[in-house]
Structures are given as structure tokens and as C-alpha cells.
Structure 1
Amino acid sequence: MSIEAEYLRIIIERFKSVKSLGDKTIEQLSENEIHWRINEDSNSIAIISKHLSGNMISRWTDFLHSDGEKPDRNREQEFADDLSSKNDMIEYLEKGWNTLFEALKSLKEEDLLKNVFIRGEKHLVIDAIERQLAHYSYHVGQIVYIGKQLKGENWESLSIPRGKSEAYLQEMLKKHQPK
């Protein structure tokens, strides 16, 4: 396997991992909780999700052939909390993730060193991918943080719970020990 093919495989897995953290957080939240904001200048999980999806749809539609900032994108509208329900939010977010994964799966090894444009700025494809992974991780991290604060002691951990590090390490070592 080439390094380019391995990179494409790994990057898809990384995006899936980021998506999973957001999905598992959103599953724990109520209809009201997805709209909670600490103040008027902050974003709710619904707003962050709407922005994520709008970005994904713009960046990854016709990825190799058109600027990633599509003329029909209304970025400012992404920050209006106007999704009527949790299901609408999830549906719109899934549209974004599906657009991303379809674009990534269509890439060929030789595409990684091609140029794409975002707001007129030239990027290597590999750089554009990494840029979006960082951006989406940042926003999903916000979603997780808000969700964890809202749920408090009812939060279902998405990683190794406090006080369980050693047990987890031993479990992983046993699992991956040569047989």
C-alpha cells in the first residue's frame, strides 16, 4: 500500500472519530439542551451544528473543481438558531458529513498534491483536508464541552472515565497482546 492510499484511509477514520464524538454527545441531549446558550454572544449546539454542516457542504461539494466557499453559502445565516427540532438539526448535520465522506472517498492518491481554492486562496488538497479536520475537531470539541456541562453528573463519558485509566490500559494491553 502506498503512503497516499494509507493517508486517505487514515484521514477518513479520523473524520469518522470526530463525527462519532459529536453524535454521541447529541444523543445524550434533549430538544431544549441543543438550543442552550450561556449568553447572546455564544453559540448553541444547534448553531454550531448548523455552521459545521454549512461549511462541509460548501467545502466538499465539487471539491476538486470549484472554490470551497460556494457563492450560494450564507455563512452569516448559519449562526441563526432557527432549526426547529433536534431531528432537523441531525438531518442537516448528516447532510454535511455525507458530503464530506463522499468527497473523501472519491479522492485518488494523485489528487493529494493538486491545488484547490478556499476563498480564492490556493491550498494543496492534503492541506485543505488537514485544515478542515482541525476546524471540525474544534467545533465538535465545543459541542462535547457544552454537552458535558449541561449533563453534569448524568454525562456518559465518551472516553476513559476518571479513575479508570489503569484498568483501561491493562484491558488494551491484554487485548493487543500477541497470542
Structure 2
Amino acid sequence: MNLGNEYLKIVQDRFQSIKSLGDKTISQLSEKDIHWKYNETSDSVSIVVKHLSGNMISRWSDFLTTDGEKASRNRDQEFVDDKTSKQEMIFIWEKGWNILLDTLKGLENQDLLKKITIRGEHHTVIEAIERQMAHYSYHVGQIVYIGKLIKDVNWETLSISIGKSEEYLQYKLEKHRS
């Protein structure tokens, strides 16, 4: 087993898992819901999606060869809710994730210690991956929390329901025994 290749497999799975939480939240939201904001200084799901996608496209395009903050990126515009439709928002969401996941699939063990730059700051590829993992987890957590606020009692949980922890544990143990 090669440690670098195993790491790359694990981070691809982790990013997919983070994306899945966002997917499952977005699927519960209406056209109106994606633009809901707690207050004027808060972000809507639509805004968070635009920001995530803009970051992913900038960071992961030409990942090994150009700075992760592309001149073509307009970060400030990502925080303007221009009332995109839910379908358009999902297209934006998928575009960013596809670039990220395709780039990760193309990386190899020998790439992990290469140096790349983000805003002129040097990082190993491993550092850059971990930096983005934390950033995307943070923002998908925001999306989930906003979804929970909006859906209230109609929220369909994305994890183990309250009061079902023991039942879930037994299910997992039985599954692994067979």
C-alpha cells in the first residue's frame, strides 16, 4: 500500500461526503428558501454556494501550475445574491465540485509534496488540500444550518436521529459482522 495514494483516496471520499451533506440539504429547499437570510448581514444558501464554487474553480483549475487565486475570480461578486434560480444554483454548485474532484483524481503520490501557491503563499499540495477541506466543511456546515433553520420541524436529518444512537450503533455492528 502506498501512503500517498491512500491519502488521495481518503480525501476524495471526504470531499464527496461533504458534498453529499450539501446535496441533501439543497434537495430539501425551495426556490424561495435558497435566498432566505437570517438577517441583512447573513448569507443565503445561494450566496454560500456561489462563494464555494468560485473558490473551487479558482483554487483547483490548473492546480499544480498557477496561483490558486485566479485574476478572473471576482470574490466580492460571490457575496451578491443575484437571485439565481435553484436550477442555476445547482449548476454553479456542481461546476465547482466537478473541478475539485476531477483535479483530485488526477493527482498522484509524487504530487503531494510539490509546492503550489495561493495568493502568493506557498503550500505543499497536502497543505492546500487540507486548507480547502476545512474551508469547504465550514461553508457546507453553514448550508446545513441554514437549511435546518428554514425547514424547522420539517427538516429531514442528515445523520443519526436524536434518540436513535444505540439503534444505529447496533445496526452498524451487525452489518460489519456479516
Same fold (TM over 0.5): yes
Determine the C-alpha separation between the residues in 1 that align with 2:114 and 2:164. Answer: 45
Determine the C-alpha separation between the residues in 1 that align with 2:152 and 2:41. Answer: 23
Aligned match of 1:48: 48
8 Å CA contact 1:19, 1:140 repeated in 2: yes
Determine the C-alpha separation between the residues in 2 that align with 1:97 and 1:158. Answer: 20
Residue 15 of structure 1 pairs with residue 15 of structure 2: yes
Determine the C-alpha separation between the residues in 1 that align with 2:131 and 2:84. Answer: 30
| Superposed CA RMSD | 0.6
8 Å CA contact 2:46, 2:84 repeated in 1: no
How many residues get paired?
178
Q: CA deviation at 1:38?
A: 1.2
Aligned match of 1:79: 79
Amino acid at match of 1:11: V
Amino acid at match of 1:173: L
Amino acid at match of 2:41: D
In structure 1, list runs of 5 or more residues that go unmatched. Answer: none
Amino acid at match of 1:19: K
Determine the C-alpha separation between the residues in 1 that align with 2:123 and 2:62. Answer: 15
8 Å CA contact 2:35, 2:83 repeated in 1: no
Determine the C-alpha separation between the residues in 1 that align with 2:76 and 2:41. Answer: 14
| Identical-residue share of aligned pairs (%) | 65
Moved more, 80-89 or 54-63: 80-89
Residue 89 of structure 1 pairs with residue 89 of structure 2: yes
TM-score normalised by L of structure 2:
0.99
Determine the C-alpha separation between the residues in 2 that align with 1:49 and 1:3. Answer: 33
Amino acid at match of 1:165: S
Determine the C-alpha separation between the residues in 1 that align with 2:110 and 2:136. Answer: 25
* SS of residue in 1 equivalent to 2:157: coil
Amino acid at match of 2:167: A
Deviations 1:121-161 (A, max 9, x none): 00000000000000000000000001011101111110000
8 Å CA contact 2:50, 2:78 repeated in 1: yes
8 Å CA contact 1:116, 1:124 repeated in 2: yes
Q: CA deviation at 1:83?
A: 4.1
